[in-house]
């Protein structure tokens, strides 16, 4: 796959993290990615909306891999909870609270106005839910309960990102990780 295309997607993802969809201009993308306008429309004929959907899908898949890596390293889904939340908290601190999940940003911002972006975010969330659900089910939860709990975990981390960025503090996010650990442990008991 083209290097230029990669640079465009990466740069757009970074800009989305701190500025959102409507707050990011294609001029900023061209500068940040060091690529001309023509290249954006060559790779994404649908313009900004198509580019945005690609960013959601590709960075959503990357976050899923990251979660799976952390979960496998932790070994146990119960212990994976604080590992995951603390990892996210560390990343936030290291980037001065910029490195928030872009999918959650865009999902809230444009789900009611840009249908293709809403659909892209739904498919990303579906992958996340399944990744967590699978591990919860493997630990003994029935499918329905595992799915519901997986969604609560996703909601908690995304809402936790919101509070952390606003407050410029990861204290709450880490505590929420502990709460999720308790919830998972109780469900499995």
Partner DNA sequence: TATCTCCTAGAACGATCATTCTAGGCGAAT
Partner DNA sequence: ATTCGCCTAGAATGATCGTTCTAGGAGATA
Name which position in 9, 11, 17, 39 contacts DNA (CB under 7 A): 39
Phi/psi at 66 (5° precision) = -60, -45
Positions in the binding site for a copy of itself (CB under 8 A): 18-23, 97-98, 100, 104-105, 107-113, 118, 121-122, 125, 148-149, 151-152, 154-163, 165-167, 172-173, 175-176, 178-179, 182-183, 186
186 binds DNA (CB under 7 A): no
49 binds DNA (CB under 7 A): yes
Shortest Cβ 18–a copy of itself spacing (Å): 4
Stretch that binds DNA, among 30-38, 65-73, 108-116, 137-145 (CB under 7 A): 30-38
Nearest to 71 by CA among 62, 81, 80, 59: 80
129 binds DNA (CB under 7 A): no
Alpha-carbon distance of 159 to 153, in angstroms, equals 10
Q: Which residue has the tokens 């940003």?
A: 105
C-beta closer to a copy of itself: residue 55 or 100: 100
Binding partner of residue 125 among a copy of itself, DNA, none, CB under 5 to 8 Å per kind? Answer: a copy of itself
Cα 150 to chain centroid distance, Å, stands at 14
Name which position in 24, 121, 129, 170 contacts DNA (CB under 7 A): 24
Name which position in 18, 26, 131, 152 contacts DNA (CB under 7 A): 26
Stretch that binds DNA, among 41-49, 81-89, 131-139, 161-169 (CB under 7 A): 41-49
Q: Which residues have a Cβ under 8 Å from the Cβ of 70 and sit 6 or more positions away?
A: 80, 83, 84, 87
The DSSP symbol for 24 reads -
Residue 161's alpha-carbon distances to 9, 20, 31, 185, in angstroms, are 22, 14, 28, 23
Angle between helices 3-19 and 48-74 (to 10 degrees): 80
Alpha-carbon distance of 92 to 163, in angstroms, equals 12
Alpha-carbon distance of 75 to 169, in angstroms, equals 28
Q: Which residues bind DNA (CB under 7 A)?
A: 2-4, 24-28, 35-39, 41-43, 47-49
């Amino acid at each position: 796959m083209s290097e230029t295309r990669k640079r465009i997607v990466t740069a757009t993802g970074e800009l989305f993290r701190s500025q959102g969809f409507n707050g990011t201009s294609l001029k900023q993308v061209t500068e940040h990615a060091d690529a001309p306008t023509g290249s954006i429309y060559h790779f994404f004929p649908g313009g900004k909306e198509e580019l945005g959907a690609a960013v959601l899908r590709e960075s959503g898949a990357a976050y899923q891999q990251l979660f799976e890596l952390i979960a496998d390293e932790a070994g146990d889904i119960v212990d994976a909870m604080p590992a995951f939340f603390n990892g996210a908290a560390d990343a936030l601190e290291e980037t001065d609270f910029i490195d928030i999940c872009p999918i959650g940003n865009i999902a809230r911002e444009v789900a009611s106005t840009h249908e293709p972006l809403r659909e892209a975010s739904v498919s990303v969330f579906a992958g996340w839910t399944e990744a967590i659900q699978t591990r919860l089910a493997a630990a003994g939860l029935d499918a329905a309960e595992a799915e519901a709990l997986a969604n609560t975990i996703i909601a908690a981390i995304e809402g936790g990102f919101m509070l952390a960025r606003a407050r410029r503090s990861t204290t709450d996010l880490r505590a929420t990780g502990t709460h999720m650990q308790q919830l998972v442990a109780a469900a499995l008991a």
